[in-house]
Structures are given as C-alpha cells and as structure tokens.
Amino acid sequence: MADLFAGLSTSHVPAIGAAIDLGKTREPYWQPVFQGYEFAKRWIDEAKPDVLILVYNDHATAFSQELIPTFALGCAAQFPIADEGWGPRPVPVVEGHPEMAAHLAQSLILEEFDMTIVNTMDVDHGLTVPLSLVYGQRQAWPCKVIPLAVNVIQYPPPTANRCYRLGQAIGRAVASYPEKLRVMVWGTGGMSHQLQGPRVGLINKAFDQRFLDLLIDDPEALTRITPLEFLRESGSEGIELVMWLIMRGALSAKVKTLQRFYHVPASNTAVGHLILECQSPGGRAVQ
C-alpha cells in the first residue's frame, strides 16, 4: 500500500523563484528566507518521497475566465512549465503519475468530491517555486508530482471546511492505492498577503502564527474560518491558506512538527513553512 508519511506547506512567492533562478539567494534580503528551507533541503534527501500530491492555485495561467474549476486534478504524464510573462522558469518539466492520479479521481469522485480531470495543464509559480525551494536547482525533479489546482482567484472559493474534508478523502485514497510508494501532500500559497486595493501590502503576523499553531494541533478549529474572515484578517490573497488545510486533512490526526518557519518580508508576503510527519501510518485511512 502507498504510505502517506508527511505533509509540507510553504508560501509560493514568484520573486523567490526569480531569486533562485538569478542566483540571488545569498543576498542580504533573501538570505533569511532561504535559511528557513535549509532543513527541508536536507530532510527531503533522506525522506525520498516517490510522489507528491501538490496542492496549489493556478494564477490565471492555465485557466482563465473562460473556465474555472474549483478542484482541478492533474492526470497527465507531464506538465510543462508555464510562461507567466517573462518566459518559462528554467526548471525541469514536471512528471506526473497518471495511474495514481486516476485512482485519486476514482476515489474522490465516488466520495462525492466533484474533481475536474485535467489532462493538459501548464504549471505556474504556485507549483514550481515550492519545488525549487525544497529541491533546489536540479536537472530533473526526483519525484513524480500530481498537481491539484484549487480556485482561489475567482469568488466564490471553496470553504476551509470543504478543503479540509477533501484532504481527509485524499488521505483515504492514498491509503487504498495498492503500489508501495512513499507519498507526501504539499500545500502552497499564503500566508497573509494582499496584492491589490487600498490595503495592498497587508501582513497579519498574529493571524498567521495562530493559523500555524492550530493547523498543527487543532485543524478542525480552522475549518470554521469563512472566506470573508480570510479576506479581512489575512488580506485578499490570504485565502491561499485553504490549500494548507487540504494538506493537513490528508495527514494523521496527530502530527510531529519537523520544521516550522515564519519570515517577513519576502516580496509582499509573509512566508510560512511547515513539515509535518504523520504519527500513524497511512494518513487518515481509518476515520
């Protein structure tokens, strides 16, 4: 059986990708940001996940106003790197895992989560920046990636509760996958930030730290946060934190915190990063 052994969450700021690609990680502004990922870089080489289910949001890159799936599950064998306006990032193409993705689609849809099956999708900074932060610069990504894109661009976004329940269903789906694979779920985006309007630049450290505390020890409490509360407390783009709830839902009820990092500033965003290890095998196979 596949083993969902840990989860990881991180912000996915595009300027972090540019700092990596342009060799600026040791500059004084960026050094404290990248220092927070040194543990992840060492740990991932030991943990060696075979497959990542990488929950992120597309930023009007693969999707546009023409088509806005709430939950888009990438079922392709490959996902090209998107051109977000200045050429595709110089990172390896993302290799999918069509067999496990098909199993996830089957399991989740029969559990009444209406996933959109996506067979062609370019992936943007929401997916590639976290890979670069954790794996650094490589010739090829050392694992398969199943992208799960969540709509947080066009209102209404899915609720925190719906996202957490989807995560739990992902945990069950992975636990019923017959191949012996080491699987992680990653949640990207957040933490507090606002890129538009009169409150542009908003950061709410108290909200972010409380979110980290509760995500680890009492994630059910976070499922009651409404989209309006995310908007008010964490800025217009803070809603990206619902992706962290999908990650957390997939893990065991009790988790061990292997890494917790929080840093301001990085571009317009409060950067948060967690690595959480499951304390019972198989994610949430038995509820």
* Least distance in angstroms from the C-beta of 278 to ligand DHB: 27
Interaction with ligand DHB in 7-26: which residues (CB under 6 A)? 12-15
* Least distance in angstroms from the C-beta of 150 to ligand DHB: 13
Alpha-carbon torsion angle 239, 122, 133, 274, nearest 10: 40
Q: Which is nearer to ligand DHB, 168 or 234 (CB)?
A: 234
Interaction with ligand DHB in 66-85: which residues (CB under 6 A)? none
Residue of 71, 146, 237, 250 interacting with ligand DHB (CB under 6 A): 237
Q: Is 193 in the site for ligand DHB (CB under 6 A)?
A: yes
Interaction with ligand DHB in 250-279: which residues (CB under 6 A)? 267-269
Number of residues that bind ligand DHB (CB under 6 A): 13
- Site mask, ligand DHB, residues 171-190, x = CB under 6 A? ------------------x-
Enumerate residues 6+ apart whose C-beta is below 8 A from 198.
none
Enumerate residues 6+ apart whose C-beta is below 8 A from 124.
58, 59, 61, 62, 82, 84
Q: Which residues are catalytic?
A: 125, 193
Please give the C-alpha separations between residue 162 and each of 80, 87, 113, 200, in angstroms, as whole numbers: 29, 35, 9, 28
* Least distance in angstroms from the C-beta of 83 to ligand DHB: 16
* Least distance in angstroms from the C-beta of 216 to ligand DHB: 22
Q: Is 231 in the site for ligand DHB (CB under 6 A)?
A: no
Positions that interact with ligand DHB (CB under 6 A): 12-15, 59, 189, 193, 195, 237, 240, 267-269
